Structure 1
Amino acid sequence: MNYKEIDTPALLIDETVLNKNIKYMSNYAKEQNVKLRPHTKTHKMPHLAMEQVRNGAEGITVAKVGEAEIMAIYGLDDIFIANQIVGKQKLERIKKLAEQINISFGVDSVHHIEEIDEVFQGADKKAQVLIEIEVGEERSGIIEEVDYKLLLNSIRASKNVELKGIFSHDGHTYKAVDKDDCLDLFMTATTRTLHFANVARDMDFEVETISIGSTPPFMFGFDIPEGITEIRPGTYILMDGSQSNAIDSYAHSAASVLTTVISKPTAERVITDVGAKGLTAQSRSKGLTTTEGFGKIKEFEGVHIHGVFDEHAIIYNREFSNNVNIGDKISIIPNHICPVSNLYHKAYIVNDGEVVKEIEIAAQGKLQ
């Protein structure tokens, strides 16, 4: 059927652009001589994860144990959870997964090692962990070298934990003021990550994996310094308004939300049937990824969502209003695709206006 026959709101994915994005990052990783481990929290769809692996990805990254469990059910067998996992309940689930697939996960505290060591007592193989290094995003991760060395010594003393490598996330590149600033932030973060890898080697640890990741530097095609073994971009596969603004092009925007015009109360106000519950109320206010409003109307240049209620999108634009009628369907490119994917049960793959496949968003809501 034609995509405009789909009931709304609905998540659409342009197949041609999707394939272009998958191939771009796969080729980039090969050219840079690094492994590609895409972050599937962006789409939460095993079908797309398998496509990424079929196109050269070494394995996948997820954010939560629940996501890892779903991906494993669908046949993904090399998974990294790029997050600190706390609590015996979750660690028991990872221990069970480790019996079937290659799985690793993040740590940044001696507390983590002590808890993991206890849970993995008697396991057939040791827990595989990567230490997170904080590189400027001001989120989780090791900051001080002294704490890092204490953590390494804790791993050395553990009977059931094995160091696989280190990882970092330069998410603050989203706020870079321009391409040169993005490169500077990227290089600073990467240099810091490599330094911590060398500290581990100086303490006689084997560091198999040195993993970095965020989409902007890789969409710019920056050269990756020698020593990095793996990249973990996520958003690149679908893109969104903020990432498109960073590269000053919407040519990579594969995802959009189809919505119906349901009301035109004034000459310039238009209401559609998707709100915060189907689009989110997210925006970005700094740097290259700065967004206008709460989403961009795909079919009309310069028209954005002015505001969102739970179930309504509000647009103020007289020219746009003159060109649409109640019942018309339009597409919105969301500001941030990752939380939007988590709001839908399925996505529609569209090629040349026709729906070619419906894909289950099987990891939707898997936040535990």
Structure 2
Amino acid sequence: MKIKDLATPSLLFDKEIMLDNIHHMQAYANKYNVALRPHTKTHKSPKLAKLQEQAGAKGIAVAKVGEAEVMAENGLTDIFIANEIVGEDKLNRIKKLAETIDISFGVDSVEQCRMIEKVFSNSQKPAQVLIEIEVGENRSGVIEENDYIELVKYIMECTNVNLKGIFSHDGHTYKAKDIEECRALYNAAQIRTLHFSKIATDLGCQLETISIGSTPPMMHDFGVMEGITELRVGTYILMDVSQGNAIESYDRCAATVLTTVISKPTHERVITDVGAKGLTMQSRSQGICATTGLGYIKNSDDVYIDQVYDEHAIIYNEKFRNEVSIGDKVEIIPNHICPVCNLYDIAYLISGDEVIEEIPILCRGKLQ
């Protein structure tokens, strides 16, 4: 099948670009002698996760228990849930997974660990947890050293919880005003993560895993500090407009949304058949990842989506309007690919103008 014959909207993955991205990041991890654990919330596909492992990845990261279950059902056996998991139902599901695969997950409070200790009290092996360290994104994770010390000491006294390591996410690097600030924020995040690792060591707890990760710093080869054992990176496999802006090129953007021009009601307005339900309304407002509009028309002269409704994308560009006809198909590079993948049941793997394979997005909607 040719790309032009696909019904729209359709999610496309360029095979050559995607594979090059996979091997590029694996080579980066190998260069610094650290493990690579791709965060698969980006693509939500066991098939792509297996490609990443075949290239050398140690295991995978996911965001939710439901994603871990689907990945495990499809043969992935080393999974880290990079999120705080709370609630007996979800913890029991992890305990079930732990019977057949290596699975670990995030914690950041004693209260959470009390729940885990209770749920895993009748398990054959203890829960494997990593403490999240807040490094500047202002999301989840331990902030105060005293809270961290209390948490480490509590876990060390637990019978059913094992402290495997710590992890951090320097997502605030996305908002860096320039590359040098991105480097500074990334380095500060590494230093802070390693500082908390030393605190654990001083308390008599040897950590197996010191995990960091976000895509922008890795794409610029800022290096990896001694003591870091693992890179947990996600968006690099497909990239998007925001990540392309961070590296000042869309050449590594493997994912696009194919859409059809369905109306040209004015001398400057173009309407296509993908809206918020197939593209999202996400944008980034500041820093090296800042975006213009709600998506970029691939290979265009600065043509962006100006507005989306549920099922419509609106473009105001007279030159573009005069270049396209009703029925033409164009590709949009999304601003943020992670939520876009969650909107499709399948993606089409393409090479040139050929569709060569369907990629099931089996973790779509697995939010629990």
- Normalised by the size of structure 2, how large is the TM-score? 1.00
Q: CA deviation at 1:153?
A: 1.2
Instruction: Please list every run of 5 or more consecutive structure 2 residues that lacks an aligned counterpart in the other structure.
Output: none
Shift of 1:32: 1.0
Shift in Å, 1:301: 2.0
Tell me the equivalent position of 2:11.
11
Distance in 2 of aligned mates of 1:143 and 1:321: 51
Q: Deviations along 1:323-345, whole A, 9 cap, x unmatched?
A: 10000000000000000000000
Instruction: Identify the residue that residue 70 of structure 2 maps to in structure 1.
Output: 70
Matched residue, 1:126: 126
The Cα of 1:229 is off from its aligned counterpart by: 0.1
- CA contact 1:128–1:164 (8 Å) conserved in 2: yes
Residue 101 of structure 1 pairs with residue 101 of structure 2: yes
**CA displacement 1:36-84 (0-9 Å, x = unmatched):** 0000000001000000000000000000000000000110000000000
**1: CA distance, partners of 2:22 / 2:220:** 15
Could you tell me which residue of structure 2 aligns to residue 40 of structure 1? Answer: 40
- Aligned partner of 2:341 in structure 1 is 341
Could you report, residue by residue, the CA deviation over 1:129-150 in whole angstroms, capped at 9, with x for unpaired residues?
A: 0000000000000000000011
- 2:234 corresponds in structure 1 to 234
Alignment of 1:313-332 (within 5 A): 313-332=313-332
Which 10-residue stretch deviates more, 44-53 or 297-306? 297-306
Q: Deviations over 1:218-262 (max 9, x none)?
A: 000111000000001100000000000000011100000000000
CA contact (8 A) 1:11 1:344 kept: yes
- The DSSP-based 3-state class of the residue aligned with 1:251 is coil
- Alpha-carbon separation, structure 2, partners of 1:268 and 1:17: 33
Distance 1:367 1:277 in 2: 17
CA distance in 1, matches of 2:351, 2:19: 11
Hey, what's the Cα distance between the residues in 2 that align with 1:192 and 1:2?
Answer: 50
3-state SS of 2:82 partner: strand
Alignment partners' CA distance in 1, 2:366 and 2:178: 35
In 2, distance between residues paired with 1:338 and 1:64? 14
Q: Which residue of 2 aligns with 1:273?
A: 273
After TM superposition, give the deviation of residue 28 of structure 1 in Å: 0.4
Mapped contact 1:299–1:330 kept (Cα < 8 A):
no
1:248 and 2:248 matched = yes
CA–CA distance in 2 between the matches of 1:145 and 1:300?
Answer: 50
Say whether 1:292 aligns with 2:303: no
Q: How many Å separate the matches in 1 of 2:65 and 2:4?
A: 36
Extract unaligned runs of 5+ from structure 1: none
Contact 1:210 1:229 (C-alpha < 8 Å) held by counterparts: yes
Aligned partners of 1:17 and 1:253 also within 8 Å: yes
Whole-angstrom distance in 2 between the partners of 1:232 and 1:144:
23
What is the match of residue 172 of structure 1? 172
Amino acid at match of 1:262: I
Letter in 2 for 1:279: L
CA–CA distance in structure 2, aligned partners of residues 74 and 119 of structure 1: 26
Match in the other structure for 1:31: 31
Counterpart Cα distance in 1 of 2:43 and 2:200: 34
Q: Tell me which residue corresponds to 1:196.
A: 196
Residue 22, structure 1, aligned to residue 22, structure 2: yes
**Separation in 1, partners of 2:94, 2:3:** 40
Match of 1:80 in 2: 80
CA offsets 1:287-336 (integer angstroms, 9 cap, x no match): 00010000000031210001000100000001101110000000000000
**Letter of the structure 1 residue corresponding to residue 285 of structure 2:** S
**Alignment partner of 2:41: what SS?**
helix
The residue that corresponds to 1:142 in the other structure is 142
Count of aligned residue pairs for this structure pair = 368
Query: Percent same amino acid at aligned positions?
Result: 62
Are positions 1:367 and 2:367 aligned together?
A: yes
What amino acid sits opposite 1:244 in the alignment?
Answer: G
User: 4+ residue runs of structure 1 moved beyond 6 angstroms?
Assistant: none
